[in-house]
Amino acid sequence: MDSDLRDRQRPESTGAASSAEYDALVIGAGFAGLYMLYRLRGLGLSVRVLEAASGIGGTWYWNRYPGARCDVESMQYSYQFSDELQQEWEWTERYATQPEILRYANHVADRFDLRRDIELDTRVTVAAFDDTTSRWRIETEDGRRMSAKFCIMATGCLSSTNTPKFEGLERFAGAVYHTGRWPHEPVDFTGKRVGVIGTGSSAIQAIPVIAAQADHLYVFQRTPHYTVPARNAPLTRDVVQNIKANYAQLRNNAKQMFAGIDFHLNQQSALDASADERRREYEARWQHGGVTFMGSFTDLLFNKEANDTAAQFVRDKIRETVRDPAIAAALSPRYVIGCKRLCVDTDYYATYNRPNVTLVDLGGAPIEAITATGVKVGGKEYSVDSLVLATGFDAMTGALTRIDIRGTGGETLREKWSAGPRAYLGLMSAGFPNLFMITGPGSPSVLTNMLPSIEQHVEWITECLAHLNKHGIKQIEPALDAENAWIVHVNEVAGTNLRSTCSSWYVGANVPGKPRIFMPYIGGFPAYVQKCNEVVAAGYAGFTLS
Ligand code: N01
C-alpha cells in the first residue's frame, strides 16, 4: 500500500493510544468486523477494531438467552474465505448453539491473530468527518479520540436492543432480562414464576427451555408468529465429510440462491399443484425442518392466494399440536406467512400443552403496566418473579443512528435518515465520504444468510480501497442521484413482495416513531451481487471519486 492510504499510519499496530491515527477504523468485532480486519491487514493498512462488548462475536456475544442458536444450518452459517478454516472447524449440530458459534468466532480471531488489533470495552459515541483533513474523528465513551482515513461500520443489523417504554417497568422488583443482553452468569429460573414478553424468534427459542425450568411461565403475546420445527440433530461424520469434500460446490450453489443458502427450491407454483401435492410438499418440508419451508413453492411470497395455502398448513399443525382449541386459535397468525421473519423452533407449540405455561394473548392491545410484582393486562395482574423482554431490536439502523455520525458540513446521519435510511447499495451514504457500512440498509443482509453477505461486502470494500490506492484517489462517496435511484429500486422491489405487507422490524414497525420503510434489499443475493460487480466494472458507477 503506498503513502496515499498510509499517510497518517500509526507506527505499530498494538496497544491503545490517545489521539491515535490509523488508516482504517472498524466499529464492531462480530463476524463482519473480524473479517474486515483480516482483509484490511492484507492490504497493508494500519487498522483498529473498536468493540463495545468485553468480548468478540457481536450478536453471538450478547444473545446468550436459553435456547439461543442459529436457524441457518451451521455448515452454511460459517466463513468460506479460508478453505483451511472451513475444513478444520467441526460443527457438532445441524443448527449450532450460541456457545458453539461464539467459540467459532474466538477460534477465527486466534487462528488469524486478530486480537492484537481489537480494542474491547470501547463504545464509539461520535464519528465525525473532518472536511479539512478528510479524516474521520472517532470519540469513545471513555473519552478517547482516534482518527482514520476510512471508517467502516461493522455494527450489525440486530444489535441495538429495543426495550419498549412499559409503564412502571422501573418499579418491577424482580430481575429483568433482555434476550439481546443476556447475563454471562447462568440464570436459574427453577421455582420461579417467569413472564416472557414477545413471541418472535428469540422468545420462540427461549420459551420451551424456560418452561422446562420455571415453576410457571406466562407468555405475553402481542402478535402470534409463524414457526416451523428445526428438527435439530447432531451432525453425523458422513454428512460433515460429504459437505467438506464438496464445500466449494455447496458455497457456489448457495450464491445462486435468493437467500444465499443452498437448498432445494421447488420451482412449481403452489396454485398449479393439487391440494394433495401441496400437502405432501409442505409435510415433507415440515418433517425436514427449517426455514426452507418457504421454498415449498416458488410463489409463496409473491401471491397471497399461494401464501394462504402454506399459512393454512401451519395453522392446521398448530391445531393438531395444541390441545386447547382456544389457545391453538390464539397462537395462529392470520397474516402472510414469511412476512414477519419465519421462526424456527424446538417444541414451541407443544410447550403450550404444559400445565405450567399460560399464554396471555394481548390481542394487539398494549400491556397496561408493569407493577412491582407482575404484569398488568386487561385489568388483571399476573404475578411474576422475573421478566424476560424478548422484544427485539431497533433493527438495521439503530446501531448506526445511536452513534453521532457527522458527514461533510456537519450533517448527521440521524437527520439524513430521519424519514428512513438512505444508502447506495447499503454500502455508503452520500455526504459521508470514506464511511462504509457492512450489510447496511438497502443491501440484502437480514434476508439472507448473513455470513456470505458479510463476506461479499467486506470483499467489495477491500477491492474498493485497493482501487482508490492504485489510482491515488483520496475520497469516495455515492452520488446523490445514484443513491436516490437505488432507494427507488429498493422500494419498488419491496412492493412486489408480500414481505412488505405487515408490521415487522423489516419496516421498523416494532419501534414507535420509526419511519415505515422496508429496509433490506429484497431483490435477492445474486441480483444484488451482480449489481455491485457491475458498479465496479463501470469504474464505480454512481460513486464520486476525488
Ligand atoms: O425480535 P422480534 P426477536 N408490547 O422483533 C414483541 C433474529 N434472530 O429478538 O410481533 C408487547 O422478532 C413483538 O410483538 P409484535 C431474527 O432475524 C435470529 O425475537 O411486534 N410485545 C414480538 O413478538 C429475528 O427476526 C435467531 O406484535 C412487544 C417480539 O416482541 C430477529 O433476530 C434467533 C412490544 C419481538 O420479536 C429479531 O428477533 C433470534 C410491546 N411494546 C433472533 N414490543 C436465529 O437465528 C415488541 N413486542 C435463530
Q: What is the mean pLDDT of the chain?
A: 96
Atom of ligand 1 nearest to the CA of 389: 30
Average pLDDT over residues 173-182: 98
pLDDT for residue 158: 97
List, in order, residues 6 or more apart from 371 with CB less than 8 Å away.
168, 171, 172, 381
Atom of ligand 1 nearest to the CA of 367: 4
Neighbours of 174 (CB within 10 A): 16
Average pLDDT over residues 367-391: 97
Cβ atoms of 50 and 27 closer than 8 Å: yes
pLDDT at 117 over 80: yes
Atom of ligand 1 nearest to the CA of 509: 20
What cell was used for 202? Answer: 428469540
Using CA atoms, how far apart are residues 155 and 133, in angstroms rounded to an integer?
A: 25
More confident call, 9 vs 479: 479
Testing ligand 1's pocket by substitution, the residue of 201, 227, 232, 507 carrying the most ligand atoms inside 8 A of its CB is 201
- 199 CA from centroid of ligand 1 (Å): 6
Using CA atoms, how far apart are residues 78 and 451, in angstroms rounded to an integer?
A: 6
- 126 CA from centroid of ligand 1 (Å): 28
- 390 CA from centroid of ligand 1 (Å): 6
pLDDT for residue 13: 42
- 487 CA from centroid of ligand 1 (Å): 26
Pairing of the two strands 135-140 and 357-361: unpaired
pLDDT for residue 491: 97
Q: Output the residue whose Cα is nearest ligand 1's atom 29.
A: 198
pLDDT at 26 over 50: yes
Q: Output the residue whose Cα is nearest ligand 1's atom 18.
A: 201
Ligand 1 binding pocket, CB closer than 6 Å: 69-71, 158, 164, 179, 197-203, 205, 222-223, 341, 367, 390-393, 446, 505, 510
Neighbours of 546 (CB within 10 A): 9
Testing ligand 1's pocket by substitution, the residue of 178, 222, 231 carrying the most ligand atoms inside 8 A of its CB is 222
Q: Output the residue whose Cα is nearest ligand 1's atom 40.
A: 164
Q: Output the residue whose Cα is nearest ligand 1's atom 46.
A: 391
Cβ atoms of 418 and 46 closer than 8 Å: no
pTM over 0.75: yes
pLDDT range class, residue 19, cuts 50, 70, 90: low
State pLDDT tens for residues 427-436: 999 999 999 9
State pLDDT tens for residues 289-343: 999 999 999 999 999 999 999 999 999 999 999 999 999 999 999 999 999 999 9
pLDDT for residue 365: 84
pLDDT for residue 191: 98
Q: Using alpha carbons, select from 275, 16, 309, 277 the residue that is nearest to residue 143.
A: 16
User: What is the percent of the chain where pLDDT is above 70?
Assistant: 97
Backbone angles phi, psi at 23, to 5 degrees: -75, -45
pLDDT at 244 over 70: yes
pLDDT for residue 364: 78
Testing ligand 1's pocket by substitution, the residue of 510, 511, 514, 519 carrying the most ligand atoms inside 8 A of its CB is 510
Using CA atoms, how far apart are residues 99 and 61, in angstroms rounded to an integer?
A: 9
pLDDT range class, residue 163, cuts 50, 70, 90: very high
Q: In this structure, what is the dihedral angle of CA atoms 180, 185, 190, 195, given to the nearest 10 degrees?
A: -20
